[in-house]
Amino acid sequence: MTTPGPDALLSMYAGMVRVRTFEERVRELFAAGRIPGFLHTSVGQEAIAAGTAAALRPDDYVLSTHRGHGHLVAKGGSLRGLMAELYGKANGICHGKGGTMHIADASVGYLGANGVLASGCVVAPGIGLSIKQRRSGQVVLTFFGDGAANRGPFHEGVNMAAIWALPVVFFCENNRWASTTASALSAAGGSIAARAAGYAIPGETIDGNDVLAVHAAVSRAAERARRGDGPSLIEARTIRWVGHFEGDAQAYRSKEEVAEGRRTDPIARLGRLLEARGLLDAAGAERIRTAVAAEIDDAVTHAEASPLPDPREALTDLFAYYPWRE
């Protein structure tokens, strides 16, 4: 496993900035009524999106969640296509049919956000089967939350991937909360990673706000998967800085938790390391922020200028083949 060099570190930094800026912009747009739907953003959890993407190959697959914008941004999805989709525009990557919770971008192996928790855990083994059969050497990484880990598909998917030694990485983003419900009160034993032992697969808990730890853990798991040694389970501890969804009053948690999140800001943390290594200075960081802001401005401008779909487009895309009139 190669430890990331200067370029890799800088691109992970830029990747986190891109995710953060994208999500913050989306929140503003939602507040301004430009974006519809039930919106869940990943502000504070950027190290996970950037670290996993950096450890994966471009042709590897990712299955995501209801909180998936960052995963797609980091995987290299088109910001224009993504933003236009969030707006529900005709040229959105899903023609406006998916929206925030159901976006996919097959061109970068991102096979879907998902409105149903833990669904990726059972879809992933099938992608693993096809990778194995095609001998493509790819890997599939499926994200799920600490709350989703309590659903049956987690168990069935991990077990299936384990017995067939499928190239799957099960990645749990533990941000302490499932909406208003504390993970500590809903996941028996308090550790998702500890469940790996029951299937005789590797399970580790990492600091999800340390992009290097995320990169290292996913690199290990991906190499193992490519070797044909089967799946791994990674639990990354992190903190969501914002509401579960936009509009969440957050009566269930203390301000202190968010403050803790800001203290452990994954972007600032890598920034300090890059400075220490002389790879980044204030001006350089500013350049990155400016460049990213420009990309996102472009995506917003594009989305704003794009047309809404014709209502009758609702009837398209259901079947690949359906010549019948009913």
Partner 1 sequence: MRLDFGDALNLALREEMRRDPRVYCIGEDIVLGVPFGVTKGLSDEFGPERVLNAPISEAAIVGSALGAAMTGLVPVVDMHFADFVTCAMDEVANQIAKSRYMFGGQIDCPLVLRMPYGIGRSGGGHHSNSVEAWFLNVPGLKLCIPSTPADARGLLKTAIRDPDPVLLFEHRGLYRLGGEVPEAETLVPLGVADVKRPGRDVTVIATARMVHESLEAARRLAEEGIEVEVVDPRSLVPLDRATLAGSVRRTNHVVIAEEGPMRGSTGAWLAWVVMEDCFDDLDAPIARVAGPNIPIPFSPPLEAFATPKADDVVGAVRQVLK
Ligand X SMILES: Cc1ncc(C[n+]2csc(CCOP(=O)(O)OP(=O)(O)O)c2C)c(N)n1
**Residue numbers of the site for ligand X (CB under 6 A)?**
66-67, 115-117, 145-148, 173, 175, 177-179, 244
Provide the H-helix boundaries in the chain. 6-31, 46-55, 69-75, 79-87, 119-134, 152-163, 183-186, 211-226, 255-263, 266-276, 282-305
* 187 binds a copy of itself, rule: CB under 8 A: yes
Based on CB atoms, which residue is closest to ligand X, 175 or 219? 175
* 100 binds Mg ion, rule: CB under 5 A: no
d(CA 114, CA 95): 17
- Classified as helix, coil or strand, 142 is strand
- The site partner of 140 among a copy of itself, partner 1, ligand X, none (C-beta below 5 to 8 Å per kind) is partner 1
d(CA 79, CA 64): 17
d(CA 113, CA 286): 31
Choose the binding region for Mg ion from 80-88, 93-101, 173-181, 282-290 (rule: CB under 5 A).
173-181
User: Scanning residues 120 to 179, which ones bind partner 1 (CB under 8 A)?
Assistant: 121-131, 133-134, 140, 147-148, 150-153, 156-157, 159-160, 163-164, 178-179
* 85 binds Mg ion, rule: CB under 5 A: no
- The site partner of 199 among Mg ion, partner 1, a copy of itself, none (C-beta below 5 to 8 Å per kind) is a copy of itself
**Residue 110 DSSP one-character state:** B
For the residues of 184-196, what is the DSSP string, one character each? Answer: HHHSTTS-SGGGG
d(CA 71, CA 56): 12
Residue 271 beta carbon to ligand X: minimum distance, rounded to whole angstroms: 25
User: Scanning residues 112 to 171, which ones bind Mg ion (CB under 5 A)?
Assistant: 145-146
**Residue 148 DSSP one-character state:** G
Residue 91 beta carbon to ligand X: minimum distance, rounded to whole angstroms: 27
Residue 233 beta carbon to a copy of itself: minimum distance, rounded to whole angstroms: 10
* Binding positions for a copy of itself, rule: CB under 8 A: 150-156, 158-159, 162-163, 185-191, 194-201
